[in-house]
């Protein structure tokens, strides 16, 4: 864990460096999303796009993203926005270990904001993410 309170001043590149230094099997970031359109909702899992920085971790990151996304959707039964390659995220481009970012929902959507504030739904998200991580690690 790199953040347990809101006042942490740790850049995304420094978080990636911590994962690199630890030789993490998988660097997982958990976020919430937002949109100007308040009707947009659902869960997605981001992974590094194939580029000069992330090429060595691309394949494993994609595999992890697909597995975790599948398990989060199976556990939460929430809208599946799929997996998305991103080449513009510092935490991905600095990472030397496989990495994913789970977007657990949209705080800009009033219904989803309520859902994300529910301890029981957050537990479902945690269960889905952890199930996916375990499945990914077992398949490595």
Let me know if residue 102 belongs to a domain: yes
Q: How far apart are the first and last CA of the chain?
A: 22
Q: In what order do the strands lie in the sheet containing 27-33?
A: 27-33, 99-106, 43-48, 80-86
The DSSP code sequence of 85-119 is: EESS-HHHHT-SS-EEEEEEEETTSHHHHHHHT-H
**Residues 76 and 121 sit within 8 Å (Cβ to Cβ):** yes
Phi, psi of 118 (to 5 degrees): -90, 120
Let me know if residue 20 belongs to a domain: yes
Let me know if residue 29 belongs to a domain: yes
pLDDT tens across the length of the chain (140 residues): 455 666 767 788 888 999 999 999 999 999 999 999 999 999 999 999 999 999 999 999 999 999 999 999 999 999 999 999 999 998 899 999 999 999 999 999 999 999 999 999 999 999 999 999 999 999 98
Q: How many domains does the chain have?
A: 1
Predicted TM-score (pTM) of the model is 0.93
Please report the pLDDT score of residue 4 as a whole number. Answer: 65
How do residues 57-92 score in pLDDT, each as one tens digit?
A: 999 999 999 999 999 999 999 999 999 999 999 889
Let me know if residue 50 belongs to a domain: yes
CATH of the domain at 69: 3.40.630.40
Let me know if residue 122 belongs to a domain: yes
Token pair, residue 58, equals: 């691309």
Domain of 30, in residue numbers: 12-139
Please report the pLDDT score of residue 10 as a whole number. Answer: 77
Let me know if residue 3 belongs to a domain: no
């Amino acid at each position: 864990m790199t953040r347990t309170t809101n006042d942490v001043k740790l850049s995304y590149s420094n978080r990636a460096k911590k994962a690199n230094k630890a030789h993490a099997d998988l660097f997982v970031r958990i976020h919430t999303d937002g949109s100007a359109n308040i009707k947009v909702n659902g869960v997605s899992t981001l992974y590094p796009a194939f580029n000069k920085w992330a090429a060595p971790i691309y394949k494993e990151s994609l595999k992890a993203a697909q597995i975790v996304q599948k398990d989060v959707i199976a556990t939460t039964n929430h809208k599946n926005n799929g997996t998305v390659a991103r080449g513009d995220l510092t935490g991905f481009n600095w990472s030397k270990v496989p990495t994913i970012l789970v977007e657990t929902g949209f705080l800009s959507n009033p219904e989803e904001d309520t859902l994300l504030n529910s301890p029981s739904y957050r537990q479902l998200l945690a269960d889905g993410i952890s199930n996916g991580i375990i499945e990914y690690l077992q398949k490595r």
